[in-house]
């Protein structure tokens, strides 16, 4: 039996991985271990490790890294705690592979600790670009430490190979999140209303995270967004989901909660994966800068208003309306979502991250990787350049 560890640090990334983790947990040839860290262990973000347990998955250990988002020095302190804790954990616990998704700073620390212990890394969602955030360089650094790469588009697969990874280890499988939106059993609108209150008035979902590679402060950015939304409070409700634990996120949360108090809008620190997708499904669209607006939400055939540069460089489909973080442009984008032209375009759109049977493909590739000899001395794959 092969032993695989999955490390999860946030509600969003766990929601993407939930179906795959359940499949691995039920596989007779796999011994799955889950360790939760980061936002999962912090009351401020809803102690979301409980969501994992409620799904029937056992968490072997909680590793609290004392998140403080007030500045980058505090974030680095959390990263150092994370690296030290996982360094000791990997000294005491061995696995055939460690699986991680994405590009968050706590996952970077986990990757370093695993790589230093020569534990093979399986990485999902490598090769992507997000030029407005420090996730950008974190993601690519994790790629260079990983042995198996499960990319979400062909463009991303090619970029990973361009970074010196052997094509035999890089696979374009599509995005689990894009498939989740279609195959997860989502709660009805009535069930959501029993838990969260009436959704009879048309509403937009709002998820806004800090841009961490910009000279504009999170406070200024969220003020532009909220000023735009205030122009529509008679026409629409707004349902906010809490921000990720990135540098400056507390500034965003403080202003959002004040806006909700003043406008009777709703703020939810965190919701279950199925609830998040369902809340979007019944909405007028998603406003903000979450990666879910580009990857998962397009499968629901509703618009995404993608604000600013946080997701700059990512592949996107026709359901995404990009705009700068400026009140007048956000207002224009909201109005555009209701136009017949945009609605028809969205109705006929294709999610570029969707492929059939993503879960089955991922499961098969992971098992094949575990069951074959793994070369721990990974070489750099050189692309042959043609001189003109």
Structure confidence by residue, pLDDT tens digits, 152-207 = 999 999 999 999 999 999 999 999 999 999 999 999 999 999 999 999 999 999 99
What average pLDDT does this structure show over 338-367?
Answer: 95
Write down the pLDDT at residue 387: 61
Residue 147 CA, chain-centre distance (Å), reads: 21
131 and 52 inside one domain:
yes
Say whether pLDDT at 386 is over 80. Answer: no
154 and 11 inside one domain:
yes
Write down the pLDDT at residue 305: 98
pLDDT band of 263, cuts 50, 70, 90: very high
| Beta pairing partners, 37 | 63
Q: What whole-number distance in Å separates Cα of residue 79 and Cα of residue 67?
A: 9
Is residue 384 in some structural domain? no
Is residue 181 in some structural domain? no
115 and 211 inside one domain:
no
What average pLDDT does this structure show over 128-156?
Answer: 96
Write down the pLDDT at residue 375: 81
360 and 341 inside one domain:
no
Phi and psi torsions of 133, nearest 5°:
-145, 155
For the four alpha carbons of 127, 128, 133 and 135, in that order, the dihedral sign comes to negative
Tell me the residue range of the domain where 194 lies: 187-347
What is the DSSP code string of 348-364? T---TT--TTHHHHHHH
23 and 144 inside one domain:
yes
What average pLDDT does this structure show over 256-268?
Answer: 97
Write down the pLDDT at residue 215: 84
Task: List, in order, residues 6 or more apart from 135 with CB less than 8 Å away.
Answer: 102, 103, 104, 212
Instruction: Convert the pLDDT of each residue in 289-346 to its tens digit.
Output: 999 999 999 999 999 999 999 999 999 999 999 999 999 999 999 999 999 989 999 9
Instruction: Convert the pLDDT of each residue in 48-61 to its tens digit.
Output: 999 999 999 999 99
Beta-carbon neighbour count of residue 49 at 10 Å? 22
Q: What whole-number distance in Å separates Cα of residue 289 and Cα of residue 307?
A: 5
Is residue 342 in some structural domain? yes
Helix/strand/coil for 173:
coil
As separate numbers, helices (DSSP H) first and strands (DSSP E) second, the chain gives 15, 13
272 and 207 inside one domain:
yes
Question: Token pair of 257, please?
Answer: 């909660």
Question: Token pair of 378, please?
Answer: 């990974």
343 and 367 inside one domain:
no
Tokens 């990666």 -> residue = 291
Write down the pLDDT at residue 361: 98
Q: Which of 40-54, 125-139, 143-157, 371-385 has the lowest mean pLDDT?
A: 371-385
Say whether pLDDT at 385 is over 80. Answer: no
106 and 62 inside one domain:
yes
pTM of the entire predicted model: 0.94
Alpha-helix residue ranges (DSSP H) falling in the chain: 11-26, 49-54, 72-92, 105-116, 135-145, 154-162, 176-183, 189-196, 218-229, 249-263, 273-281, 292-295, 327-337, 340-347, 358-371
Count of domains observed in the chain: 2
Q: What whole-number distance in Å separates Cα of residue 379 and Cα of residue 383?
A: 13
Write down the pLDDT at residue 376: 76
142 and 11 inside one domain:
yes
Task: List, in order, residues 6 or more apart from 272 with CB less than 8 Å away.
Answer: 15, 51, 54
Task: Answer yes or no: are the C-beta atoms of 253 and 282 closer than 8 Å.
Answer: no
6 and 65 inside one domain:
yes
Write down the pLDDT at residue 214: 84
220 and 325 inside one domain:
yes
Is residue 388 in some structural domain? no
Write down the pLDDT at residue 388: 52
Write down the pLDDT at residue 326: 97
Percent of the chain with pLDDT over 70: 99
Q: What whole-number distance in Å separates Cα of residue 201 and Cα of residue 238?
A: 10
What CATH number does residue 68 fall under? 3.40.50.2000
pLDDT band of 2, cuts 50, 70, 90: very high
| Beta pairing partners, 32 | 4
pLDDT band of 37, cuts 50, 70, 90: very high
Is residue 383 in some structural domain? no
């Amino acid at each position: 039996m092969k032993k695989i560890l999955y490390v999860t640090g946030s509600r969003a990334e766990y929601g993407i991985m939930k179906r795959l983790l359940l499949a691995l947990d039920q596989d007779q040839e796999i011994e799955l271990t889950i360790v939760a860290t980061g936002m999962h262990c912090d009351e401020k973000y809803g102690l979301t490790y409980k969501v994992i347990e409620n799904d029937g998955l056992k968490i072997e250990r909680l590793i609290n890294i004392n998140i403080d988002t007030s500045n980058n020095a505090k974030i680095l302190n959390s990263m150092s705690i994370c690296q030290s804790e996982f360094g000791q954990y990997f000294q005491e616990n061995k696995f055939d592979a460690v699986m991680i998704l994405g590009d968050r700073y706590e996952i970077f620390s986990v990757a370093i600790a695993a790589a230093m212990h020569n534990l093979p890394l399986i990485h999902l969602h490598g090769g992507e670009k997000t030029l407005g955030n420090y996730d950008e360089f974190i993601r690519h650094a994790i790629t260079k430490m990983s042995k198996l790469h499960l990319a979400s588009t062909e463009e991303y697969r090619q970029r990973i190979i361009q970074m010196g990874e052997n094509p035999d280890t890089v696979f374009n499988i599509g995005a689990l999140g894009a498939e989740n939106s279609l195959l997860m059993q989502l709660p009805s609108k009535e069930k959501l209303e029993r838990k969260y209150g009436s959704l009879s008035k048309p509403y937009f979902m709002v998820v806004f995270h800090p841009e961490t590679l910009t000279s504009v402060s999170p406070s200024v950015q969220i003020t532009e967004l909220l000023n735009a939304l205030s122009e529509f409070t008679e026409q629409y409700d707004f349902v906010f989901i809490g921000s990720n634990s990135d540098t400056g996120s507390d500034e965003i949360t403080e202003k959002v909660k004040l806006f909700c108090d003043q406008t009777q809008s709703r703020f939810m620190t965190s919701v279950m994966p199925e609830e998040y997708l369902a809340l979007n499904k019944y909405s007028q669209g998603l406003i903000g800068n979450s990666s879910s607006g580009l990857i998962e939400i397009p499968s629901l055939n509703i618009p995404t208003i993608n604000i600013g540069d946080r997701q700059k460089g990512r592949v996107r489909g026709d359901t995404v309306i990009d705009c700068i973080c400026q009140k007048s442009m956000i207002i224009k984008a909201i109005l555009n979502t209701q136009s017949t032209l945009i609605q028809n375009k969205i109705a006929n759109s294709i999610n570029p991250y969707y492929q059939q049977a993503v879960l089955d493909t991922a499961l098969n590739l992971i098992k094949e990787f575990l069951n074959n000899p793994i070369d721990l001395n990974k070489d750099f794959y050189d692309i042959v350049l043609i001189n003109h």
